[in-house]
Amino acid sequence: MVDPALQSAIEAMSLDERLELVEFIESTVDAAPIEIGEEAKATIRSRAAELDADPSIGLTWDELKARLAARRG
């Protein structure tokens, strides 16, 4: 659970500041293996099959970056 004071401080940050915080937190996390359950694996396989069947439902990496940049203003 996030400390309420920390949560308030984060909510007061600008979007750019929060994105920088996310990048910092990511840099401090060990690259430990992540356990993925069978239900999650099935969901991933199903979504991959949907994308293979209809590539128009997905985004390219460049399209995703452009959408994120547009949201940042």
> What does the pLDDT look like over 21-64, one tens digit per residue?
999 988 888 777 788 999 999 999 999 999 999 999 999 999 99
Q: Which of 10, 30, 8, 5 is CA-nearest to residue 22?
A: 10
For the chain, domain boundaries: 1-32, 33-73
Per-residue pLDDT at 32: 73
Per-residue pLDDT at 54: 96
Instruction: Give phi and psi for 29, each to the nearest 5.
Output: -90, 130
Predicted TM-score of the model (pTM): 0.46
Per-residue pLDDT at 28: 84
Q: Tokens for 42, please give them.
A: 């099935």
Q: HSE-up of 5 (CA within 13 Å, CB side)?
A: 0
In this structure, which amino acid lies at residue 34? I
Per-residue pLDDT at 57: 93
In this structure, which amino acid lies at residue 22? V
